[in-house]
Amino acid sequence: MEEALFFGETPQGLYIKALGHITAGLCSDLKSQIFTRLDKLDLPKPEEMVMDLSACDYMDSTFMGLIVGFNKKFKQLTGKKLEILNPSKECMKLLTSLGIVKLLDISSDSDKIFPQNLEKLSKGEKPTAELLLKAHENLSEISLENEKKFSVLQDILKKQLNSGT
Q: What domains sit in the chain, N to C, each tagged with a CATH number?
A: 4-127 (3.30.750.24)
Query: Mean pLDDT throughout 113-137?
Result: 88
Query: Mean pLDDT throughout 145-150?
Result: 97
pLDDT band at 165 (very low <50, low <70, confident <90, very high): low
Q: Which of 48, 60, 87 is nearest to 3 (CA)?
A: 60
pLDDT band at 123 (very low <50, low <70, confident <90, very high): confident
Tell me the whole-structure pTM to 2 decimals.
0.93
Q: Which of 95, 83, 7 is nearest to 49 (CA)?
A: 83
For residues 19 and 39, what is the distance between their CA atoms, to the nearest angstrom?
26
Q: DSSP E strands: which ranges in the chain?
A: 4-9, 13-22, 48-59, 83-85, 105-107, 119-120
Q: Is the pLDDT of residue 58 over 80?
A: yes
